[in-house]
Every structure is written in structure tokens, then in C-alpha cells.
Amino acid sequence: MTELATTLDLPRPYLLFLGDITEPGFAKTAYGLRDWGREQCVGELSCSPDAVTLGLPKLTPAQARAQGARSMIIGVANVGGRILESWMPSLLDALAAGLDLVAGMHTRLVDTPALVAAAERHGRRLIDVRTPPRGIPTATGRKRSGKRLLAVGTDCALGKKYTALAIWKALKKRGVSADFRATGQTGIMIAGSGMPMDAIVSDFEAGAAEILSPGASPDHWDVIEGQGSLFHPAYAAVSLGLLHGSQPDVIVVCHEAGRTHVLGLPEYALPSLEETIDLNLRLGRRTNPAIRCGGISLNTSKLSESEARRLMASESRRLGMPVADPIRGGEEFERLLDACLHG
């Protein structure tokens, strides 16, 4: 009966599958993998000459396998989240070439009989990153060693994953021992492991977060991808379980400049940054009384460079803490990192 719960773990490096997708917006996962995990991608494969390209070497599954690839990852989505018939020859080819298949679509690989049969025949695995690992326990609430940073937000889909990835990369560059801890599909594919927090049964939500960022040496940092928002009328349960279980020492609050309402819910105004900081600290204090806010990660992608720098400066003065756009980098971002590391 007893099973030791772990995170999902993906076989790497990958061959990235692009299907016949022509619209870059549907290949966000593939672009994310290229941008944040280039060294784990041996090449790309599509099944149409018109498909988008990432500029990686174009390889057949057999070629990718010969170059060390261990799995082919479906890096694209379509409207229904379905595995298309036109993709099947490539998917079967990958299994035959000795690659496992990894996907995060609505339709699960294991619910596609032809893939199940082929995987069995070739002794390969079908890994759905929306399916949580088994045996996750309820949280213990016990304080763990090591340092943790959690990206939280005023809303969904405004840069929590990119913020965590950028901070992780920057910490590594500074020589700090750090891991990126992924909580969503794309993040899990980039990291090669993680916990699909929104797919966990509520009773085990905080427990899953505890498993995701285990005890570590005192100067090690786990940089944890946030999910949802404490203020989101649908997803706050995910955010609170993640906050309690992560026991963060530091939060970084993510926000998109100019966003005033919850995405898709115009009747819900976004909270202020002050309110977001305050509520996250108040709730986070329950499992880590030493929690503090390192600063603000401001998504300024819709502003010009000068507008962005001006807004970051004025917000930083107003709030009395670093405000940076990790994608723009610069001095502001270095100050944010300093504040996260040293308070």
C-alpha cells in the first residue's frame, strides 16, 4: 500500500513535436522549452511543411534517439486540446524509435488506444503531465530546511512562470545553489519534473507542495512557480494550498502593468499590489512566520522601454521595494534579486 510520493519526472533530453500547427500562439509550450531549456532539446519535428519552426535541428525520431533524446514532447496545443489523427504517424514513429511520449493536452495519451498498444509493444512510456503522481500525502506543516521563493500574483496568466524562471537563472548565474520548481504543464516540461498543482485533489494540495520543494541545505533556494491568485474566484484554493505547502521565505508579487480586472471576469477588479502583498504574507505566515516580500515583478510587455522604466521607478518609490520586469532585466532586476536573497 505504501508508496513514496515524488514529483513527476520526465525523460530528457527531448525531441520537440510541432504537429502541423501554423499559428505560433498554439506552440507556446515549444517556444518556452526552446527559450528556457534549450540544452534539453536535441531538435524539432513537424508533420507538415507549413508548420511553425523553432529554428532547432530538424530530426526524425530515429536521428533524435541516436543523438541521445529519451522522449518526444508534444509542444503544441489546439483549440479542443485533442491529439489529431494527422499527428499519429509521427507519434507512433517516435515510440518505435525508442522515445517515450510526453504531453499535457486535455485528451490524455493513455486514453488513445493506438498509442497505448504501440507503447506496450515497444516498451515505452506515455506520460501525461496533467496526471499527478500517485500517493501524495496530506501536508504535515513541518518546517523544512533550505530557502524557498514563491512567485504569487494579482491574477492568472501575467508572468509568474517567467518570473520564477528568470529569478532561478539569475541566481544560478550569481553562483547561488537553486532549483526551479514547476507547478504547471509548461513549467514541468521545462524543468523536466514538477507537480501539476491544479490537478491535485484539494485535500492533498498543500501536501503536494511540500513534496515539490523538499528540505535542502540551508543556503539552497527553491524558486517555485506560482499558480492562480488568492483573489481569483475560481482558483484561490490552488494558490492557498501552494502557499501553505511551499512555506516560502520570500514572495515576489507578479502583476501586469495596466491590467485592472481578472482575466475573463470583468466584474472582478484586481486587488492593489499592497493588498496582494499583505494577504499573501498574512496567509503565508501560518506555515512560515518569517515570510517576507522581496519585491514586485511587473510585466511591462505592452509598454515602451522608457514608459516601462518610468513606471518601475515610480512604483518602486511608492511601495518602498524593488520593482522590476525580469524580461527587461537591468539594474532593477538585480536590486530585486538582492532583496530576495538578503532582505
Q: Residue 231 has which C-alpha cell?
A: 483573489
Q: How far is the CB of 205 from a copy of itself (least distance, A)?
A: 4
Residue whose CB is less far from a copy of itself, 201 or 313: 201
Dihedral of CA 80/163/213/127: which sign?
Answer: positive
Q: Which residues, in sequence order, are CB contacts of 187 under 8 Å at separation 6+?
A: 161, 164, 165, 180, 194, 225
Distance between CA atoms of residues 180 and 166, nearest Å? 10
Which chain residues interact with a copy of itself by CB under 8 A? 138-142, 197-203, 205-207, 230-231, 233-238, 240-241, 244-245, 262, 265, 267-268, 279, 282-283, 286-287
Measured from the CB atom, the residue of 27 and 270 that comes closer to a copy of itself is 270
| In contact, 17 and 90? CB cutoff 8 Å | yes
Q: Of 181, 199, 184, which Cα lies nearest the Cα of 131?
A: 199
- Nearer to a copy of itself (CB atom), residue 64 or residue 136: 136
**Nearest-approach distance from CB 136 to a copy of itself, in angstroms:** 11
Report helix angle 273-284 to 305-319, nearest 10.
Answer: 50
CB of 122 to a copy of itself, least distance (A): 30
Nearest distance from C-beta of residue 182 to a copy of itself, angstroms? 16
Q: Which is nearer to a copy of itself, 233 or 258 (CB)?
A: 233
The residue among 97 and 136 lying less far from a copy of itself, judged by its C-beta, is: 136
Would strands 8-9 and 193-194 be described as parallel, antiparallel, or unpaired?
antiparallel
Query: Minimum CB separation from a copy of itself for residue 243, in Å?
Result: 9
